Amino acid sequence: MCCSRHREHAKASEAHETFSREGGGRSVADAALKTQLKEIISKATGGAIAADQIGDDVSLMDLGVDSMAALEVVMELESQFGVSITDMEAGKEAFSSINSLAAFVETNKA
């Protein structure tokens, strides 16, 4: 009985390490946030950029997000997440990709 308990404990520890190493439960939340951000961008571009065509690491400016669409995205970020971009350099960095935008929102949301 003692040995089987140790094996079960070892399996549970290994599963926990794998879960933690792979990002814990954050991957689901991160995926949902990225999907939401892609939909915001698609809407801001009037549907010119489909949400499902936006890769996580693709430059948003290279996709065709212009300054007017970026402004709409900023307003949506403020409205939905309580996040504001006040520093131009931080804004440029945040808009470099969905991954960077998601990280910015996670770090700065109210």
User: How long, in residues, is the chain?
Assistant: 110
Q: Are 31 and 51 in contact (CB under 8 A)?
A: no
**56: which DSSP letter?**
T
Phi-psi region of 23 (alpha: psi -120 to 50; beta: other; left: phi over 0): left
| CATH code for residues 24-108 | 1.10.1200.10
* Pairwise pLDDT comparison (97 vs 20), residue with the higher score: 97
What is the structure's pLDDT at 88?
86
Query: Whose CA is closest to 37, among 87, 72, 67, 66?
Result: 72
What is the structure's pLDDT at 91?
86
For the segment 36-95, what is each residue's pLDDT rounded down to a tens digit? 999 999 999 999 999 999 999 999 999 999 999 999 999 999 999 999 988 888 888 999
